[in-house]
């Protein structure tokens, strides 16, 4: 099994120099190997399976009423705690940054969106990730699937950020069967360059063409679980490629939905049901390995569903990459016998950044960072108590002096300068999704989400006292704004896979 481990592989790797430096500078070296030096003591460990699904909409799952079949997930949600106000950033990289750091994207420079494969940056290197902290505490830590937190140098990649093993891809999206990423950019003089993006630890995997990534990732999760010593705590970060575009799924799932006429919706449904089955396979492996009773599952989408590619967030407004509820209110649940109360719906407000302190406290790891945005919500979700969280930041983004963003305080939501694209309500029952037209919006919007969760009634001109209070909270939040890293890191042609033997690879920043 030696070759399967990040911290050992460098001995055999051609990039030995870089990785030897990494290892010498401390950080991740070796701590995952010894096993049970856990700060949480020698009693039964708590395993954590964090399932992050890509681009899964609010109305893409059975338990929210969708026409898409998710029997495995429905049952887990029903037996666990269904979260109805679990807020997530509205696109891929910011969410992953929030999970890894416990900080809002606008506090770590990730507020502008996804990291393109030509941008020379990643999750800032002074962030101690949740994986590093769990690894130090004696957890076996595994990252499977999509990374999307930077890869221009090895320091940004999963093996250097707290994971004992990695099996997956560095970028944001690619073909689910060939595992090749095509990217079109002006830095390539308008050409569409293409390269393989798939690795086991740091090594390229070249013999996986034709295997559907959902099946490959499930098989890897099952293998790791079956080989795991159940007395050592395990953290598995299962960051699925499903159900992100391109819309592809094995035929048997596509055949299940012949009645869905909209082509994108049809394929999305097939992908979601394939993902559901794969998760059933993984939970069966946990039972077989006798880890089930001690595993906490966190299941969450990374952002709202993209309505332009078959997702729906009905009845919520908007889409992925918008400030509306449809972009941020995520399909999510937790499941596990360590929850004190189960089989209920939790309506309290939580945010992605909360998993960091919550899971670390469950693992017995003390976090004393003073600049964390996350709050420990364990007692709240485990006992159906009111949430310690009363407010959060949807996002804050400055472009040429213009602020676009949103904040929440109790039932109030303030938006300034939201983008108008995909600002409607999209119901899959319509034969086709409506035109994604741009309707002019006002630049200041105020909603009472208790009375109006679907954001139909802008109260900015009537509730002027509330508007003033929210504006002052917005200004306060802006005081800690960190400049965004996309703006500071222009695209470069150096990442061209042609320079790296046909693969998207570290080594260009
Ligand atoms: C990381 O570095 C940035 C920029 O120097 C700094 O503002 C921030 O406070 C640092 N964060 C941590 C967690 O050390
Ligand atoms: C991957 O497999 C497909 C289908 O068999 C084939 O057309 C394609 O050339 C293969 N790609 C690579 C890079 O091997
Ligand atoms: C689930 O497991 C079954 C039985 O091993 C297998 O046939 C199927 O392909 C798996 N499904 C997925 C989506 O991985
Ligand atoms: C898991 O819990 C159930 C019910 O509490 C118990 O019957 C079963 O023996 C436990 N399994 C293991 C492997 O401890
Ligand atoms: C579990 O629930 C019981 C009954 O509601 C309560 O008395 C107890 O404090 C809870 N324990 C924990 C650890 O939250
Ligand atoms: C959870 O708490 C809410 C709000 O206090 C309450 O309405 C609901 O009945 C509780 N549910 C359970 C199962 O305790
Ligand atoms: C544009 C359009 O036709 N929207 C309709 C989609 O279906 C829902 C639910 O039946 C209607 O409320 C919308 O008006």
pLDDT for 36 equals 36
* Closest listed ligand to the CA of 430: 7
More confident: 24 or 177? 177
Please give the pLDDT value at position 33: 31
Per-residue confidence (pLDDT) for residue 314, from 0 to 100: 96
Q: Which atom of ligand 1 is nearest to the CA of 127?
A: 13
Q: What is the distance in A from the centroid of ligand 1 to the CA of 470?
A: 28
Q: Is the pLDDT of residue 212 over 50?
A: yes
CA distances 227 to 1, 3, 363, Å, are: 10, 14, 21
All residues at 6 or more sequence positions from 469 whose CB lies less than 8 Å from its CB, including other chains:
409
Q: Which CATH architecture has domain 397-478?
A: 2-Layer Sandwich (3.30)
Which positions ≥6 away from 370 have C-beta within 8 Å? Answer: none
Domains of the chain, residue spans: 46-389+484-500, 397-478
Closest ligand 5 atom number to CA of residue 383: 14
- 406, 444 contact by CB (below 8 A): no
pLDDT at 434: 53
Of 282, 292, 294, which Cα lies nearest the Cα of 362?
Answer: 294
Mutate to test the pocket of ligand 4, among 293, 337, 338 (most ligand atoms within 8 A of CB): 293
Tell me the pLDDT tens digit for each residue of 307-344.
999 999 999 999 999 999 999 999 999 999 999 999 99
* 311 burial type by CB count under 10 A (0-12 exposed, 13-18 middle, 19+ buried): buried
Pocket test for ligand 3, best of 215, 254, 279 (most atoms within 8 A of CB): 215
Ligand 1 mean position to 121 CA, how many Å? 15
* Ligand 7: nearest atom to the Cα of 424: 1
- CA 159 – ligand 1 centroid, Å: 21
Q: Whose CA is nearest to atom 10 of ligand 6?
A: 384
> What integer pLDDT is reported at residue 4 of this predicted model?
75
Which of 294, 282, 284, 281 is closest to 231 using CA atoms? 294
Rounded Cα–Cα distance for residues 267 and 249 (Å): 7
Query: Three-class SS of residue 165?
Result: strand
Q: Which pLDDT belongs to residue 27?
A: 34
Give 41 or 36, the one with higher predicted confidence.
41
Backbone angles phi, psi at 497, to 5 degrees: -55, -25
CA distances from 452 to 60, 221, 413, 447, 458 (A): 22, 41, 10, 7, 10
Q: What is the pLDDT of residue 372?
A: 98
State in Å: Cα 383 to ligand 6 middle.
9
The predicted pLDDT at position 442 comes to 79
Question: Does the pLDDT of residue 23 top 50, yes or no?
Answer: no
User: Going by CA atoms, what residue is nearest to atom 13 of ligand 4?
Assistant: 290
Cβ–ligand 3 distance for 276 under 6 Å, the answer: no
pLDDT per position as a tens digit, 79-95: 999 999 999 999 999 99
* Structure confidence at residue 7 (pLDDT): 74
Instruction: State the pLDDT confidence band at 465, using cuts at 50, 70 and 90.
Output: very high
What residues contact residue 170 under an 8 Å CB cut-off, 6+ apart? 117, 147, 148, 150, 151, 157, 197, 199, 504
pLDDT digits (tens, 9 = 90+) for 217-236: 999 999 999 999 999 999 99
In a 3-state reduction of DSSP, which class is residue 382? helix
148, 176, 244, 328: the catalytic one is: 148
pLDDT at 19: 36
| 351 is known as an active-site residue | no
The mean-pLDDT minimum among 268-272, 438-442, 456-460 falls in 438-442
Q: Is 456 near ligand 7, meaning CB less than 6 Å away?
A: no
Two structure tokens written together for 74: 């429905």
Residue indicated by tokens 């073909």: 175
pLDDT at position 436: 53
Catalytic one among 6, 92, 152, 159? 92
Where does the pLDDT of residue 429 fall: very low under 50, low under 70, confident under 90, or very high at 90 and above?
confident
- Identify whether 176 is a catalytic site residue: no
The string of pLDDT tens digits covering residues 400-413 is 989 999 999 999 99
Rounded distance from Cα 424 to ligand 7 centre (Å): 11
Ligand 4: does its nearest atom lie under 6 Å from the Cβ of 293?
Answer: yes
Which residues contact residue 87 at a Cβ distance below 8 angstroms, ignoring those fewer than 6 apart? 328, 329, 330, 349, 350, 351, 352, 392, 394, 408
Name residue, tokens 């997956």: 168
* Closest approach atom of ligand 5 to CA 382: 14
In 18-37, which positions are buried (b, 16+ CB within 10 angstroms) versus exposed (e)? bbeebbeeebbeebbeeeee
Mean pLDDT estimate for the chain: 92
Q: Is the CB of 206 under 6 A from ligand 2?
A: no
Q: Tell me the CATH architecture of domain 46-389+484-500.
A: 3-Layer(aba) Sandwich (3.40)
- Cα separation, 99 vs 88, in Å, equals 10
Write out pLDDT tens, residues 142-159. 999 999 999 999 999 999
Tokens for 505?
A: 């690879």
| Helices and strands, number each (H, E), in the chain | 13, 17
Which ligand has the shortest distance to the CA of 124?
1
Ligand 3 centroid – CA 281 distance (Å): 6
Give the confidence band of 11 by pLDDT, cuts at 50, 70, 90. very low
Specify the residue for token string 């595992």.
Answer: 179
Q: Whose CA is closest to atom 9 on ligand 3?
A: 215
Rounded Cα distance, 267 and 311, in Å: 10
Asked if 54 and 243 touch (Cβ cutoff 8 Å), the reply is yes
What is the end-to-end Cα distance of the chain in Å, rounded? 32
146 DSSP assignment: E
Q: What predicted TM-score, i.e. pTM, was given to this entire model?
A: 0.93
Q: How far apart are CA 37 and CA 356, in angstroms?
A: 20
Residue 5, pLDDT > 90, answer no
Tokens of 25: 């500078």
Strands 140-146 and 234-239: parallel
In this prediction, residue 430 carries a pLDDT of 66
DSSP H helices in 259-377: 263-288, 325-328, 355-362
How many percent of the chain have pLDDT more than 90? Answer: 86
Q: Is 84 in the pocket of ligand 6 (CB under 6 A)?
A: no
The span from the CA of 226 to the CA of 249, in Å, is 26
Amino acid 421: pLDDT: 87
- Give distance in angstroms: CA of 59 to centre of ligand 7: 15
Residue 97 predicted with pLDDT over 90: yes
Contact 120, 508 (CB under 8 A): yes
Protein residues with CB under 6 Å of any ligand 5 atom = 340, 382-383
What is the 8-class DSSP label of residue 503?
B
Cis peptide leading into residue 315 (ω within 30°): yes
CB distance 344 to ligand 6 below 6 Å = yes
């Amino acid at each position: 099994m030696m070759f399967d481990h990040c911290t050992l592989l460098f001995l055999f790797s051609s990039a030995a120099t870089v990785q030897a430096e990494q290892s010498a500078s401390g950080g991740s070296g070796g701590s995952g190997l010894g096993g049970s030096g856990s700060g949480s003591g020698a009693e039964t460990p708590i395993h954590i399976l964090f399932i992050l699904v890509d681009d899964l909409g609010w109305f893409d799952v059975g338990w929210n009423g969708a026409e898409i079949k998710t029997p495995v997930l429905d049952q887990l949600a029903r037996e666990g705690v269904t979260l109805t106000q679990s807020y997530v950033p509205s696109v891929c990289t910011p969410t992953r940054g929030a999970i890894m750091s416990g900080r809002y994207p606008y506090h770590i420079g990730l507020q502008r969106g996804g990291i393109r494969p030509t941008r020379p940056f990643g999750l800032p290197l002074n962030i101690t990730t949740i994986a590093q902290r769990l690894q130090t505490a004696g957890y076996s830590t595994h990252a499977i699937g999509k990374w999307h937190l930077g890869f221009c140098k090895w320091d940004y990649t999963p093996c250097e950020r707290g994971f004992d093993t990695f099996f997956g891809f560095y970028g944001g999206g690619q073909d689910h069967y060939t595992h090749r990423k095509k990217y079109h950019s002006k830095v390539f003089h308008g050409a569409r360059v293409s390269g393989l993006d798939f690795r086991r630890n740091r090594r390229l995997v070249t013999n996986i063409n034709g295997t559907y990534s959902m099946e490959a990732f499930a098989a890897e999760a099952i293998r790791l679980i079956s080989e795991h010593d159940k007395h050592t705590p395990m953290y598995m970060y299962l960051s699925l490629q499903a159900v992100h575009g391109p819309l592809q799924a094995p035929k048997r799932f596509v055949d299940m939905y012949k009645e869905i006429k909209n082509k994108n919706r049809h394929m999305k449904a097939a992908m979601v049901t394939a993902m559901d089955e794969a998760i059933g396979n993984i939970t069966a492996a946990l039972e077989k390995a006798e880890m089930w009773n001690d595993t906490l599952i966190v299941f969450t989408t990374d952002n709202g569903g993209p309505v332009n590619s078959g997702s729906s967030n009905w009845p919520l407004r908007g889409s992925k990459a918008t400030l509306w509820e449809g972009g941020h209110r995520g399909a999510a649940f937790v499941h596990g016998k360590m929850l004190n109360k189960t089989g209920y719906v939790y309506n309290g407000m939580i945010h992605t950044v909360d998993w960091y302190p919550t899971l670390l406290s469950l693992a017995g790891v003390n976090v004393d960072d003073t600049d964390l945005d996350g709050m420990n919500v364990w007692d709240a979700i485990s006992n159906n108590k009111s949430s310690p969280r009363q407010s959060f930041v949807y996002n804050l983004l400055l472009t040429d002096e213009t602020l676009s963003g949103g904040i929440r305080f109790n039932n109030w939501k303030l938006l300034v300068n939201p983008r108008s694209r995909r600002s409607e309500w999209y119901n899959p029952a319509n034969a086709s999704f409506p035109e994604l037209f741009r309707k002019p919006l006002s630049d200041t919007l105020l909603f009472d989400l208790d009375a109006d969760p679907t954001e139909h009634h802008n109260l900015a001109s009537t509730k002027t006292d509330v508007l003033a209070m929210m504006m002052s909270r917005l200004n306060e939040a802006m005081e800690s704004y960190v400049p965004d890293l996309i703006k500071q890191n222009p695209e470069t042609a150096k990442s061209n896979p042609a320079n790296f033997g046909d693969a998207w690879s570290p080594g260009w920043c």
